[in-house]
Each structure stands twice: as C-alpha cells, then as structure tokens.
Structure 1
C-alpha cells in the first residue's frame, strides 16, 4: 500500500492559518486488513478537518465526504492549536483504492492535501511472514537540527529494510553520505532500520517510503516528513525561560508580570489576557495604557518583557499567555493569576 500525496508549496499566510503537519496511511487490525488514515492539522482556532474521496460521475470529477458508516469510522478531535482526524476502513479491498484528500478550514482560511491510496497485492501487509510494525520520526542532535527515522519490520525470514524519498517524479533510495547515517539491526525475526539526517533543510522534507522485503514479498509504508522552520540549521526556536508574578508597592497594591524568553535571533515577546470563556480561549494583546505599563528589554540572546499593573483589581485576575516569536517559530505559555495571596506568585504554564 502506497499513498502518493500531491503537495504544493503554500504562500505566506497569517499565523493560525491551517497547516498540514502530517498525513499518514497505515495498516492495522487482524491480518493488517484495515487501513487507517491520519490527518494532523495545526491552526488557531483549531481547524475543522474532513476526509474526502474522489468520485467520477458521467465523466465529471467530484469529491464525496467520508463519514462513519458500516465498516468506515471517522473521528475528529480538536485540541488547543491543532486537530487530529482518523479514518478507519475495515477490511480494505482494492475497491477502496483511489484518490483521497483531507480538507482543513478555520476562520483564517482553508487548505487541502490530496493523496493516492493503492492496495495492490505486492504492496499490502497481508502476508503472514512479513509486516512493517511502525515508522517513527524524531528530532535529535543539537537544537533538534537532526532527524532520525526508524523503520521496524518483522518477518520470517528476517526482512531487509530500505528507505526511499520521492524526488523529481520518482522514488530514490536514501544512501549513506556525510549527512546521512544508516544503521540496520537484524534479529531472529525483526529488523530495525534507523536513518539519521544531520542538519536538515527544507530539501529533506517530503514523501518517504519504508520498504521491507524477504522471500514472502515486499511491503511498504508511506509517510510525510515535515521539517519545521526552527529545525533548520542556524535557526533557534524560542524557549520560554521563566514566567513570574510579583506583588509590589507599600501595600502590595501593584503587580509585575515578567515573561523571559531566549532564542537565536532574540525573540519578540508579547503578553495576552484571555477575554472569553475557557472553551473559546480568545486572547487580547496587552499594551501600555491606563493602569498598565509594558516594557520589553531585548538582550544578546534573550528578551524580558515586564508588565506593571498598578492598583490591582479583582478583574485583573484570569488567564494570561506569554508568547515568544522569532524566525525559528513561536512558543506560548499560559498561566492563571489571581490578586489574592502573598508577595510573590509563580505562574504555572500550560
């Protein structure tokens, strides 16, 4: 089974616009006869994600939304800043092969990613003597600038493993080089193949296949490797070092909120307060004015932002969020603060 995503380079879009982080097709269930499609999409607000299949009627191409029905199960789960959709096709057959797409939309716009699902006899995992157990992708090395791909397969005889990258219209075997380290470990019935790509670039992103072969045949598992901007050499994702709240003044009538973040280049730091319900989580940026005095102090590798709240009032209590951004990306830490208590309160992030 191989999925061939049809990808396009997205133009610059505002922060929070839907972004496909991962689209995977896996086999599971008894005899690995079920197909699981996973679409993970980030965005703020968390986007709505749906699964569709291409259908042709009277020579016209259209897409039909896939819903839970009989042997098909579709589950969408929304989190703070991303949505995870899983579609399970039980007892998949060649009739389920075709072109599919995941669509994503929120208040900022919409996006879709298309892929081809093939269920040819030579590309499934139905053989009792051969199966790919899993493929994982981990960020490693200094500043997470390296990527390690691990393919695990079982079979009798013990299978050999290869990694392929889709380039220039076809799949090419990933070879050992100065930047690529290959490590194959073979046991009695299990093989583990680790490929480490050092100092990844955007050229390393794209569609890959892990293939496992023995005398029973060949099975493959396709996955999409996304390289986050902060993982590219020379760019450092900001790190939130500290968030504190300190009461000041003769009678503790004032409060100072401090957000400290580091990164390369030094990040811009902003402070927000939640102005809606816990469910909606809408935030408003805080600025100097009235009882608020905001000050941002950039340093060689970090930035400290302080907010002085004068004559604190009960309405100053609530959920706040520190945000740090640079060319490597954006990190956020939210915390809840109330005006009651002693001289100092440490904010606990979430």
Structure 2
C-alpha cells in the first residue's frame, strides 16, 4: 500500500505507513488530491481522498440572549448562547458560584431552568472553544418573590424626651432584604437604625410625622410600610423607682426561673438588668421588666440588679438568686455486672450510687417484668442477695436509681451453672418414608447455655465399615437435615450437649420405611391468623391443632431464639404472660407421628402505646411576641399530630407542621390558655397539654382585608 499526491509532490513531512498517511502541522500548500495504490499478486486497485486546508482559523465570538433576565419565582428562565468561529466551537454553560440547579437543561446552546427558585439567582457563564481559542461571556439571572413589609406599630404616641423604637420586617424568612427607614425632610438628629430597627432618643415635637420603612431585596424589588409618630406635650417628670420581686428566690438546677422588676416614673423609665461582678450569659433572657434564667446552673447564683432610668433620674433594686444543685444519678454494679454460681450457693450485687442530686432512691426489678422468687432479698442500701439459688433465679436484674432529674438503670446478670439437658424434636423415635426430608432438632438447656453437636455413623458404600460423622458445634440449638432419606439412613443419631457443669447425650432412632400407601393424616395448623399484633404486657395464648394426626407429639420453639423463660405449655397450647417487645418473632409448632413430621408457625408483633413530650410545657410572653410549642410522640408510628385550644378557638393565623410544631406570631391576650396536642398512630393515641400566658399591653394591630371567595364578604 502506498500514497502519492496527484499533480504534485508529497509533503516532506508526510509519513506513509502501510496505508495510513499522516501529515503533521498541515499547511494550505498541503491541500490537494491524494491517491492510494494497493498491489496484490494478481491485481491492483486505487482510491482517492481530497484534503482542503482552511486559510484561517477564527477564535469564537459569543453573545447571550437576553443579556440578563428577571423572572418571578417558579417561572421558567431560558438563555441562548449564540456563537461564531472557525472551526465551529463547542459550547459549555456553568454557574458562577454554587451548584447548578439539578433540573436545569443544557441543549444546543440553550440553558433552561424550569420553576426557577430564589436559590437559582446567580451569574451564569457561556464558554465557546475551538482550536483557535476560547471566549466566555456572563449573564445574570434575577428571581423575584412577593414580599410584604410588616411594621410592628402603625401608630405611636410618645412624650417629649422619651425614647422609642420603630421596628419593621418582612414576612418571608428566606429573603434577606435591606431595611431602611426614611421621613420627608430627613430623619431626626441623633436617630440610629440597624436591620429595620429605628431608635429615636430624646423625642422632640419636630420628630412627629410619618415614617416609611423600605425593604429592598437583593434583586432590586422594593416594598414599603408606614407608621405615624405623635409627640405629646411635655409633662411633669417623676424620679423612677424599681422593685424586684421576689427579692430572694431559689431555682432548681436545669430548670427556668423568673424575677420581675416593677418600675414607676414619668416618663416611663428604661429598664436595664445586670449581675453583680459578672456578665449576663446566653442563659439569661431579658424581656422588658422580666429576667428569665433558663437551664439554671450553679454558677448562675448571685445578686441581680434592675436599673430604671428616665429623664428625671435613676432608681434601682436587686434580688438574690440561689441555685439548688441537681444532677441525674450515676450507678455502678459491684463486684461485677455478671456472676456465675452453682445451685445452692449464695451471691449478691451491690448497686452503688456514685452521684446524683438530690440523693436518688434505688430499686431492683427483674428483666421482662418477672416476679422475684422467695430466695431473693432486696435491701435499702441497694444490695440484692440470692440465697440457696435454684435454676429459677438465673437471668438479668435491673437496678433503677430515680431522683427529680430522671432515672438511670444498670443491669446485673446472674448465671447459674446447671448440668445440660437435651430436648429433642420431633421425638426420640422418628419414622420416615423413602424420599422424605427429615429434620432433627437438638436444643440444649443449662447454665451457661451448652454447646450442642450431632454425631452419627454412615457407610460410604454398601458393605463398607461405617465411619463416625460429626456435625458442627452450635450454641444452644442445632438442626440436622437429611434430604430424600433412604433405607441406609436408618439408625441412631446422637446429640451431645456440653457446658462447664457437665455433659449429656441423647439418642434419636430414625427408621426409614417404604411407602406402601399414602398417609391419611391431614397435618397441623395454628388456630387463628398467621400474624398477630398484641400490646406489650398482654398474655398471649397460641393453640396448635393436631386433629387427624395419630399419636401426635407436640413441641413449641421460637425461630432464631429461645421461647421466653416465663412460658407455659399445656398439651397443644403455648401461653406467654406479660409479653414484651423482645419476645416478638416466629413461633413454631412441631407435631410428629409414626408416619410423618409436621410444622406450622405464627408471627407475633408487639405494638407500643404512644406517649408524648410537650416542649415547653409552660410559656410566658409579651403581646406581640411569637410562641412555639413542640409535640414529640414516641411509640409505633407514623403519627397524625393535631394542636387544639382547650375551651377556645385556635388563632386562625397559627401554623402547625406535620412534625408537631405549633407557631403563633404576634400573640395577643386572646391567645392565653391551655393547648392540647393529640397524636394518633397505629397502636392508639395520646395527648399532652401546654399553657400559654400572654402579658403586657397589646400594640395597635394593622388590619389587612382578606376576601373570602365563598361568600364575597370582607374579613379583617
């Protein structure tokens, strides 16, 4: 194979390798027609290719249409990137800062964002690239949302010489606007404003007039709100007085305490709270005349001073606050959290209180709600003693320490060494027919739980000497399964159980017979549904129906575990009192006859009655403030949560979420009362209550007309 140039010479730099022609650093004079010759032993052939070399490569140019764009929130935003260049450039879009909206679509130079959000407001760049270079141009997307300016007081009357604050904000927490107060003729001298709060000090008659709060969003949207200031003529001033009540109080550690400063004076004095020789912390909340100490700690004790000041002078008073130390209990189990003894011996656990204020009370109980047997003594010093123990005392014992701050628990385990005992299922004598699947279960009981293992003899071929086969070691229970048994599987199967207290072996005799006629037995069933739902603490009774099975031997077991220690079996009935969550699972009834083995099962699931936590339980706030109540259910969910006002109507502007949060803004005295949270789930319902107190004078309220489309009336 070889190449040549038609009507000219091959470029000096051309490389011809077995039919592949490479021309590096191509130039215009390299253009033309190139011919490939192929020679074989008996024939030849040719083909041609034409190379055109552009005289000039052009760097891309880019423009974006439109150059910028403003859309309302949830509208579609679209930009088009128009490019030129030789060769044709490739186009890429990117966002200046932050991540591109995952729903944005880039195709054919277009950038499209459907249902734009405020978070999509940003600079966007279109980049065009080819071999001649790269060009990038930016555009800006603005996303608007409707905002509403709220002025805290739409009319203010202030005496001469007093201080007032004009407060405005917007109703959309997702937008961070610039808030600016203004007045025709300019703001009064000495005024100061920060984040929508305009402070006017030493008010004079010239301060009267209309004040406008303007909110400007980052994308340039503007809204306004107005308030009017009226200045009263100068009145006679009186020296302020301050009285703190109570003058001495004790707060429990971790709780909330409140002291109040009652002041008099003309004009109305300004109140300032401080602590002697220390600074107030984030746990100290000042709301006008009230000082609230939340989550009080020992270091919060001391003297708190209320200072009342007006143009006539200063008055002050103080109160002493003590914090009563409180702490949750701390426990330790002595001598160890687990002890192992033999039957007839003595043991004790000492539940030692290592901390807690006030001193906690200590009680012992048995895990799972089981009753204490007569050989157990509990003493006031936290000691539980076991004397002359039998197998009944084995298990977990729970020490609970309780004081005003809550309860903590610690668990001690008593292990009683007792020789192992074997329970065989389905029986010691098992009959099967050729081809049947046989399962032999060996359960070891004892203290501690023994290891169990199957052993049997098996001849590899007819006439060979049998060899002993050992199964795997297992803790507590092991099942040997023989698939499609034959006559050679007949024989003895040995289960051995071992623990530190001894060893025991039981034998199962398997007899495999030929099937002469089909069995007339109907099998085993459990009466009732295959899945049951019960409440914690109920008594559960399960009955196994073996009608039609000759000489049935019935045994009960639990899949992947042991039947609860407090169970009782009578005939074909299993009874489990005080059923707990840990007992949930699949319970299996095994029935065996000389002909066949049968099994069936039932699933038992425990539901927990829901309970509620209300936070906070008591709220005290001033008119115009915001109240938040949180309702947190515990139990088997999901839950439907609803807030109601007891003996009243819930504020129509209150909002509540499906997660249990109730929020009431701009509260008034009408919002004082008792509130009920109702949580309903699959396992029942529960309710809880909170109390709200609204104090102080209410500010004038701005009324916004709302049109009810159902009856065309106007509401305020």
Q: TM-score, normalised by structure 1?
A: 0.29
Structure ranking higher on relative contact order (CA contacts 8 Å, 6+ apart): 1
